[in-house]
Structure 1
Amino acid sequence: MITAQPRLVVSAPASGHGKTAIAVGLLAAMAARGIPTAGFKVGPDHTDAAYLGLASGRPGRNLDPRLVGAQRIAPLFGHGASGAQLSVIEGAMGLFDSLTGQPEVDGTAAVAAALRAPVALVVDVAAMGHSLAALVHGFRMFDEMVHLGGVILNRVASPRHEQMLRSALDDIGMPVLGALRRGDLPNVLPSRTHGLVPVAHRSVEAARAVRRLGEAVARSLDLDRLMALANSAPSLPGPLWTPAEAAGDPAETRPLVALAGGPGAPYTYVETAELLTAAGAEVVVVDPLRDESLPPGTRALVVGSGLPEGYAEELSANRRLCADVARFARDGWPVVAEGVALPWLGRELDGRPMCGVLDITGSTGEQTVAGYREATAPGTSVLAPAGARITGYKQHRAVVTPRAGAAPAWTWSGGNPEGFVWRQVHASQLGLHWAAAPEIAKRLVAAAIAGPAKPSGPAGQMPGPQMPTPQVSGPVPQLAGPAPQLAGPAPQLAGPAPQLGGPGQPMPMSGPRPRPVQDSISGPLPGGPAPSGPPSDPAPTTGPVPGMFPPEGPGGMSPPPGPAFGMPPADAAGPGMSPGHGPLPQRPGGAMPNGGPIHGTPDTGPDARPPSDVPISS
């Protein structure tokens, strides 16, 4: 059960007010006082979560209702905050903003209401006077489910300016939690083009930036008052999320799964490593930018969407690892690739040679493609059964040609199929949060135990995955039970679930293990016509493909009826109910919990999907 947990949401009226620097600095300042802390980021942003984790000394985590479901936010928070005396949740965009246009579902205010956490509002007051009081009063009154506990003034011009602002806020009874002058908050965080790589590599630049932000916050903010506000958060009832319970009984055999990342952070959500470990895997980190080979004994590889695209040159230069990954994938071992890992598995990206597993080329476009996708698996793969549905997030500039292979990884309404499924490779630019579907970890561990998928069919033909791809009809398959059996004997799922180390501890490493590796790489590449050599996989058909749904419009696929992949059963909670929490109060005029007349009522139909191709601001 989640008990009293001091917590605080740091938000702002909009992006650009300084909330990331202040949230990171607050965690660093409290940690310097010896207070155990935990950092969380609202939304899918890997980078901010990594710096929050660096400041707190334990993994930073994401709270994204769109990716994991609103009912999992409080349990995931309780899991990540265990043992901390202060948890800081950094919002995304403005307090009442939402990328999808549904702030009552996935906005910062919705997360604050779900966690019953007070909010500290960071406001850039460089060009503001008494109007600050009107702004803050509007934010306080807009949503009665959100408790605005105080304001942090950023970029104050002078002592006289600060006194005027404090007087204006005193007139409306709003506490001031601290004030930073112009230049007090140093612009020291590494460029966002580096993503979380400086944290993953534990660079001196990243550590220095966090330390300097902590010193600035400690000088200018009232830490005791902030701590008192965090302590005012009420007890949060309900069960904790635990990897062992989510993943089910672990396998007796412990296959080694390589997870892309660095010693400071993985290139994926932290729960991925925890779920793999709970499912019975021995997780070891491999750095695609530095390591020249996969760890000895590796039986599966996972490359998450947190790896930035700006490191294409470094990925290409690591030729030894590229060759090792190519052998590994062609030998038939499981590979899950997201984000830039898709073009990394191709022939080249911007003219630079890559791994050559897939017959695709990539080029960096001028615009960023970003947004959530309600994705459907058209066929069975190592990651999901045919017809399974899940919400993912993509943010990339690389354009891959062709976009999909004969067996695509995903389809979604209103868009063309994307990605590639070949043997036990599942590659696309869509990033998933495995806490939404813990069955993924169980399937991957079972595939790692079963061993390589063997080629089948006529000589010289490169097969798809060695699992059946049935026609889909009726309800969507659920992954609540045991994972479908892969090639080879089924693993025995018994025994206690091994756990990762406690907060802040590194993932377990492994010693050398023998791994069968073929001496040569041969055969055509899936994905498209090869420029030379044997023919590649057949081009996608125009009619329905076995295991896929009939097209809906140009290149579109209709999602199947039935519940979504990884989501709770329909009777888990009725309207206005939160699992384990009882009824939630409604906003005035709201037709649903935490919804109001301004926010509106979201479309929850089978084809409902948020706007796409819009980048998220931090």
Structure 2
Amino acid sequence: MTARLVIAGTTSGAGKTTVASGLMAAFTARGLTVQGAKVGPDFIDPSYHALATGRPARNLDAFLSGPELVPGLLAHACADGTPADLAIVEGVMGLYDGASGRGELASTAHVAKLTRSPVVLVVDAASMARSVAALVLGYKHYDLGVDIAGVILNKVGSSFHADLLREALEPIGVPVLGALTRDERVETPSRHLGLVPVDERDARARGAQAVLAERIAEGCDLEALHRIARGAPDLHATAWDPVAALAADAGTAARAAGAGSAPRGERALAAVPDPVRHAATGAAPVVAYAAGAAFTFRYAENLELLRAAGAELVPFDPLGDAALPEGTDGLYLGGGFPEEHGEALAANAPMRAAVAAHAAAGRPIAAECGGLLYLGRSLDGHEMCGVLPGEGRLGKRLTLGYREATAGADSPLWEAGAAVRGHEFHYSTVTPETTDPPAWALRSRGRERSEGMATPTVHASYLHTHWAAFPGAAARFVRASAGG
């Protein structure tokens, strides 16, 4: 199995993304094929991984996909295309922080154990000297099932400061694998949902990434890091495969339907193993998906499942394109930052009209978060597509967290009663928040609320879902796109 490392942090803001993407860039510059991955549901950090490696980044989220899929998803990512020589997995929050109230579930430590990966702990050492040893010792002994193989000291003030830190850590036997000083040339701008995605600052991000790769190579022991990664034990996992996932899901659904005793929601999401085709023409249905600077949030596996189910995938940019791709049958509007581009989206009246005409013709649409905002009547006063009655506004209150969800109505993606897991992360609000019936009944920490808008042809919601755990959703959408 591919050599691999998990880059964890003592806390959020310790510098995980800087170190992880810098290591990816530095090892790529040395000629290795590097696969990046991110623990958790985040879409933004993986954009920096993809910039550093030239490969699609992946998410390893034990809540969204279920723990059982995590090793196979990593194996799939490393085997896709040119096999990776090295996988670098960036953690989430602090090493042991996971889904609220669920113990270690979905934490960096959990994913490290699931993937049998050594951990390199990034420590924000800006205001520390000897105390760093107590901190690292606590992290090392908190869970002996986690292999903390060394630390990288970040935000070090000087070479003298670095020497003090190394001296403090030497007695506890945790190797110092790097020491990095602050450098404004590689600082990544942030805003309300975290870092600014690469697609919105491509040229500047590339320049910063090149500087970062040099800094990491100078400040870290790449040979020692690579040696630790190569020492990771065998993963003992079969690579996840979208075609096999669809077939397995179809078989499960068929057995449940044949038994006649499973609840409707559990019988739902039946997939068709053979690629879906238009009944009349035999052609593959065309699924257009939103891309460009305003729509950068989508899981790679969702697209892979759509393709495996039979769709021809074609990207389009709602900011610059005047029309949907020729022959569009289904429309997939993922998340992103349409609120940062409201004026430009409104100015592209031909595209808004094309989306509205697609909906009026009864063709299927799946929309997540940013896509929901784009389908509404307006966004911060800017005219949107008018497919749905929602008025969107950017607020100051963050809605964040994992959700258990039950589909409230039949839609192109889900059958009413389907039970799934998802994630919300937004500052915006939509009024009305839901239709009757809603897209979802969402549950979190003992509370339940309705959310989203669903019709027989449109499913729109703030909830992000990772279809590797629910492959039948992709098959259902492709069938709907083919007119089935």
Please confirm whether the aligned pair reaches a TM-score higher than 0.5, indicating the same fold.
yes
Which residue of the partner structure matches residue 468 of structure 2? 435
Change (3 A) 1:435 1:308: farther
Which residue of the partner structure matches residue 50 of structure 2? 53
Which residue of the partner structure matches residue 276 of structure 2? 251
Distance 2:380 2:139 in 1: 46
Which residue of the partner structure matches residue 178 of structure 2? 178
Residue 224 of structure 1 and its aligned partner are, at CA, apart by: 0.6
Deviations 1:545-574 (A, max 9, x none): xxxxxxxxxxxxxxxxxxxxxxxxxxxxxx
1:228-243 matches, cutoff 5 A:
228-243=227-242
Change (3 A) 1:271 1:194: same
Contact kept in structure 1, 2:152 and 2:176, CA below 8 Å: yes
Contact kept in structure 2, 1:132 and 1:165, CA below 8 Å: yes
Which residue of the partner structure matches residue 11 of structure 2? 14
Is residue 302 from structure 1 mapped to residue 332 from structure 2 by the alignment? yes
Q: Any idea what SS the aligned residue of 1:68 has?
A: coil
Distance 1:154 1:8 in 2: 18
Q: Report the more deviating stretch, 174-183 or 20-29.
A: 174-183
Contact kept in structure 2, 1:198 and 1:206, CA below 8 Å: no
Residue 300 of structure 1 and its aligned partner are, at CA, apart by: 0.3
Distance 1:13 1:446 in 2: 46
Distance 2:390 2:165 in 1: 57
2:448 to 390, 399, 415: 415
Residue 334 of structure 1 and its aligned partner are, at CA, apart by: 0.5
Distance 1:233 1:47 in 2: 27
1:437-456 matches, cutoff 5 A:
437-450=470-483
Contact kept in structure 1, 2:132 and 2:165, CA below 8 Å: yes
For 2:453, the aligned partner's letter is: F
Change (3 A) 1:198 1:95: closer
**Computing the radius of gyration over CA atoms, which structure comes out larger, 1 or 2?**
1
Distance 1:202 1:284 in 2: 23
Q: Any idea what SS the aligned residue of 2:121 has?
A: strand
For 1:163, the aligned partner's letter is: D
Residue 194 of structure 1 and its aligned partner are, at CA, apart by: 8.5
Deviations 1:19-40 (A, max 9, x none): 1111011000111111000100
Is residue 101 from structure 1 mapped to residue 101 from structure 2 by the alignment? yes
RMSD of aligned residue pairs (Cα, Å): 1.9
Distance 1:265 1:417 in 2: 25
Distance 1:90 1:289 in 2: 31
1:154-303 matches, cutoff 5 A:
154-183=154-183, 186-192=185-191, 198-200=197-199, 203-248=202-247, 249=273, 250-252=275-277, 253-262=283-292, 266-303=296-333
Residue 317 of structure 1 and its aligned partner are, at CA, apart by: 2.2
Instruction: Give the share of equivalent positions with the same residue, in percent.
Output: 46
Instruction: Indicate the structure with greater strand content.
Output: 2
Deviations 1:371-427 (A, max 9, x none): 111110122111111110101111112211111112311112433321112240111
Which residue of the partner structure matches residue 267 of structure 2? none
1:440-479 matches, cutoff 5 A:
440-450=473-483
Deviations 1:101-126 (A, max 9, x none): 33421110000011110011111112
Which residue of the partner structure matches residue 21 of structure 2? 24
Residue 308 of structure 1 and its aligned partner are, at CA, apart by: 5.2
Instruction: Indicate the structure with greater helix content.
Output: 2
Distance 2:371 2:475 in 1: 22
Distance 1:309 1:426 in 2: 20
Q: Any idea what SS the aligned residue of 2:385 has?
A: coil
Q: Any idea what SS the aligned residue of 1:411 has?
A: strand
Residue 143 of structure 1 and its aligned partner are, at CA, apart by: 0.6
Distance 2:453 2:157 in 1: 55
Q: Any idea what SS the aligned residue of 2:451 has?
A: coil
Give me the TM-score of the superposition, normalised by structure 2. 0.88
Unpaired stretches in structure 1, ≥5 consecutive residues:
451-485, 487-618
1:350-361 matches, cutoff 5 A:
350-361=380-391
Distance 1:308 1:245 in 2: 35
For 1:109, the aligned partner's letter is: A
Q: Report the more deviating stretch, 137-146 or 95-104.
A: 95-104
Residue 314 of structure 1 and its aligned partner are, at CA, apart by: 2.6
Change (3 A) 1:264 1:284: farther
Which residue of the partner structure matches residue 41 of structure 1? 38
Q: Any idea what SS the aligned residue of 1:415 has?
A: strand
For 2:143, the aligned partner's letter is: D
Residue 54 of structure 1 and its aligned partner are, at CA, apart by: 1.3
Distance 2:461 2:8 in 1: 32
Distance 2:294 2:394 in 1: 28
1:80-119 matches, cutoff 5 A:
80-82=77-79, 83-119=83-119
Change (3 A) 1:94 1:207: same
Distance 2:422 2:111 in 1: 19
Distance 2:421 2:354 in 1: 31
Contact kept in structure 2, 1:269 and 1:433, CA below 8 Å: yes
For 2:333, the aligned partner's letter is: V
Q: Any idea what SS the aligned residue of 1:435 has?
A: helix
For 2:215, the aligned partner's letter is: A
Contact kept in structure 2, 1:340 and 1:396, CA below 8 Å: no
- Residues paired across the two proteins, number: 447
Distance 1:60 1:358 in 2: 32
Contact kept in structure 2, 1:24 and 1:52, CA below 8 Å: yes
Deviations 1:301-335 (A, max 9, x none): 10112445323233222211111000001110000
For 1:380, the aligned partner's letter is: D
Residue 182 of structure 1 and its aligned partner are, at CA, apart by: 3.6
For 2:97, the aligned partner's letter is: D
Residue 94 of structure 1 and its aligned partner are, at CA, apart by: 0.3
Q: Any idea what SS the aligned residue of 2:129 has?
A: coil
Q: Any idea what SS the aligned residue of 2:441 has?
A: coil
1:316-465 matches, cutoff 5 A:
316-413=346-443, 414-450=447-483
Change (3 A) 1:198 1:377: closer
Q: Any idea what SS the aligned residue of 2:394 has?
A: strand
Distance 1:26 1:72 in 2: 26
Give me the TM-score of the superposition, normalised by structure 1. 0.70
Distance 1:20 1:432 in 2: 23
Distance 2:346 2:467 in 1: 28
Which residue of the partner structure matches residue 147 of structure 1? 147
Residue 431 of structure 1 and its aligned partner are, at CA, apart by: 1.0
Residue 264 of structure 1 and its aligned partner are, at CA, apart by: 12
Unpaired stretches in structure 2, ≥5 consecutive residues:
248-272, 278-282
For 1:153, the aligned partner's letter is: L
Task: Kindly report structure 1 stretches of 4+ aligned residues shifted beyond 4 Å.
Answer: 192-198, 263-266
Q: Any idea what SS the aligned residue of 1:104 has?
A: coil
Q: Report the more deviating stretch, 160-169 or 41-50.
A: 160-169
Which residue of the partner structure matches residue 123 of structure 2? 123
Q: Any idea what SS the aligned residue of 2:145 has?
A: coil
Q: Any idea what SS the aligned residue of 1:239 has?
A: coil
Change (3 A) 1:31 1:394: same
